[in-house]
Amino acid sequence: MTKSKQTLIAWLRDAHAMERASVDTLDRMADRLGRFPELAAGFREHWRVSLAQVQRIEVCLKQIGSDTSTVKDLASRFIGIARAFAVEVTPDEPVKDCLADYSWRHFEIGAYLSLGAAAAVLEEPEVVRMCEEHVQQERAMADWLERQIREVTQDFLRP
Ligand SMILES: [Fe+2]
């Protein structure tokens, strides 16, 4: 296996860890958004999308010929980063959760743009397709959140 191919596999494994961190963080955020059911439902929906993304990355890893038995080991690294984005419990946490997740969506968009570019050079069309689809899903979530940020902030200020 070439060095470039090994790098692509390493980056796919990073993406897998990133999505697992996303699943973990979205789950916690959705759970504590009791006062904002619409927001909680949106986070819950993207939690499902992220779970499917985890599985799709596993399929790509297998197709490329990588062992997936150890991919879960990397998750803790990204869970740490994702939690740094997410805030501790504070009175304005719904607002902060929106901001944190909005940043995280853009982190993921960047990661998939990079991974997709690498896969194009290495002629891995299945990975390219996956990255394009994941970018669309992350952009859709970021766009939805963009509208939520205003509403949740104004709602939060209402007595
Ligand atoms: Fe994602």
Q: What's the rounded Cα separation, in Å, for the pair 68 and 49?
A: 20
Structurally, how many domains does the chain consist of? 1
In angstroms, what is the C-alpha Rg of the chain? 17
For 47, the domain range is 3-157
Question: 157 C-alpha vs ligand 1 centroid, how far in Å?
Answer: 30
Alpha-helical regions (H) of the chain: 3-31, 37-64, 75-85, 93-121, 125-157
Question: 6 C-alpha vs ligand 1 centroid, how far in Å?
Answer: 22
Question: 109 C-alpha vs ligand 1 centroid, how far in Å?
Answer: 8
- The pLDDT tens digits of the residues spanning 140-156 come to 999 999 999 999 999 88
- The pLDDT tens digits of the residues spanning 103-117 come to 999 999 999 999 999
Q: What is the model's pTM?
A: 0.89
Question: 108 C-alpha vs ligand 1 centroid, how far in Å?
Answer: 6
**CATH number assigned to the domain comprising residue 69:** 1.20.1260.10
